[in-house]
Structure 1
């Protein structure tokens, strides 16, 4: 896994895909899409070509993963005979125009039966053989909410499964006091922002807010992928050793051209990160003005 992560971060995608091919060749075919495993631990694609086949794309991971890899769906649609996307119901409106033949809600209790070629959405890069920086963003769009010009969107909360990704809300107080901000995280907040009640748990309303702001400052969670996929200037706050898709030694990302990375200098040090972000934000706002 470490070698694969290093290859992906370095942009050596052919090397990473070769490792994936070796892993697939060593797997027992009987364990494919194993119902005994949680969905996010299953492997689905058996390595067959997608060209000229009816392909069923299953979305077994999180909302952010689906948004990140949805960039490959139009390319898949041009090569396959037909594409069905079995996706989390919350994402169906956002992906309605992505270019596949059919979109159906993923029911964890009753998934669709197998098709000519089944693949999990995160397996698409190797199946198609296209690097992420070869697929341009934005590839998602949504009508903007009515917000004042210059508004900054903030998301400081990540998923419960990795609390180290979250930033203490109080570290954003200075930013919220100096700039017009809205929260892109659910739940009430005491920070001085335009929506102290927090962001609604509604994907369409969230996308409208992201579309309307000048900038998104977020931790590593679904909001980062949504903003990146919409081409919104996005500042991503990362823990010292982040997820495989982000390189802590870089400020940019091949996944999202409009994204800037801010990694902790040492584990747990969010204060230094927010100090740099506050300074950069002042310059950003000055340039926009």
Structure 2
């Protein structure tokens, strides 16, 4: 590639980093108008048009990039997310298998000296299923441990992060639950939790399976029932920001001030927000009655109990959504114009969780449109 094209690619990347997607697209398109050109510019174009919702063209470019450079695992992962977003689970799960080929994910991969389970019956054998990514991913895919148990006929050991260990002890399927970082018993085959859909060839029609598949601790539920008993009106748990270190956090997180249109009589909001953003509950928008529970929440057992007592959870795309969904509780999710792959496209419901509603940005960056829709629905609920 010539120096001039290298400079174009660098300028394009700088525009992408600044969120100036249309400018990045306009910059590189002339160099690709013939249908050919350096792959690095095609990558810039794909990254510029995908967040704009031009997904058919994005997928075509990503498929070309994978065909031209099959060893580019980041390209394969990007294609996987686009395929899954479009509901093409079979191809999507296969490409998603390459999720550990990137610089920022290699340290997450487990080097297991046993073969990966291939989805076939293995009676008399022991299958180790191990979780791998964020808490929300673990909550979302825990449902498949029981599916793997039924499919394999094996003894199933489920290895899970310590923060969700107690919840995992109450799910159906595993014969034994162990904490990540401990030495597992002997096993014959293994499978990453999020590779179960690939090996079991999960389709949209297979979802959601039995819900709820998680349960809250009865003692914690009773504790929070007493704690919240005197709060007036409809009790709505609230999360407005995700984990700041998440790669896509700027696209999914808000400030509490942006939720001002939700404030209305007859609703008491419960802040279950964790992290630095939780301090915003100390200065809520005018008219919003909010009780901050953030400092009282010690672990996911508390969060599970709170959403079990609350009437509704309203949240950005974060782990409490998946926890509440897995508990079978009502959830409203605020989504960006082009969301994470698991929320699919063009629908207000989700096959993953029957009692979850999706409120999508009508155009890129339009959180105001999301708030207007949610405020209207919330007012309708409070007056029923």
Matched residue of 2:292: which SS?
coil
Say yes or no: does 1:152 pair with 2:152.
Answer: no
Aligned to 1:181: 269
Aligned to 1:8: 84
- Asked if 1 retains the 8 angstrom alpha-carbon contact of 2:214 and 2:327, the reply is yes
Matched residue of 2:142: which SS?
helix
Deviates more, 1:267-276 or 1:47-56: 47-56
Structure number with higher helix proportion: 2
> Rg larger in 1 or in 2?
2
Task: Give 1:91-240 correspondences, 5 Å limit.
Answer: 91-99=164-172, 100-107=174-181, 112=184, 115-131=187-203, 132-142=206-216, 143=218, 144=221, 145-146=224-225, 147-148=228-229, 150-160=234-244, 161=246, 162-178=249-265, 179-186=267-274, 187-188=278-279, 189=281, 190-191=283-284, 192-195=289-292, 200-240=297-337
The whole-number CA distance in structure 2 between the counterparts of 1:159 and 1:113 is 33
The whole-number CA distance in structure 1 between the counterparts of 2:183 and 2:290 is 41
Distance 1:245 1:50, change over 3 A: same
The Cα offsets for residues 22-65 of structure 1, whole Å up to 9 and x where unpaired, read as x67xx9xxx99xxx9211x5687735345223111111101100
Unaligned runs of 5+ in 2: 1-76
Matched residue of 1:167: which SS?
coil
- Asked if 1 retains the 8 angstrom alpha-carbon contact of 2:84 and 2:344, the reply is no
Distance 1:197 1:177, change over 3 A: farther
Say yes or no: does 1:275 pair with 2:372.
Answer: yes
- Across the two proteins, how many residue pairs are aligned to each other? 275
The whole-number CA distance in structure 2 between the counterparts of 1:197 and 1:222 is 15
C-alpha displacement at 1:198, in angstroms?
Answer: 5.1
Matched residue of 2:234: which SS?
coil
Aligned to 1:71: 143
Say yes or no: does 1:90 pair with 2:177.
Answer: no
Q: TM-score, normalised by structure 2?
A: 0.64
C-alpha displacement at 1:141, in angstroms?
Answer: 1.5
Say yes or no: does 1:265 pair with 2:362.
Answer: yes
Unaligned runs of 5+ in 1: none
Q: State which of 112, 127, 132 in structure 2 corresponds to 1:55.
A: 127
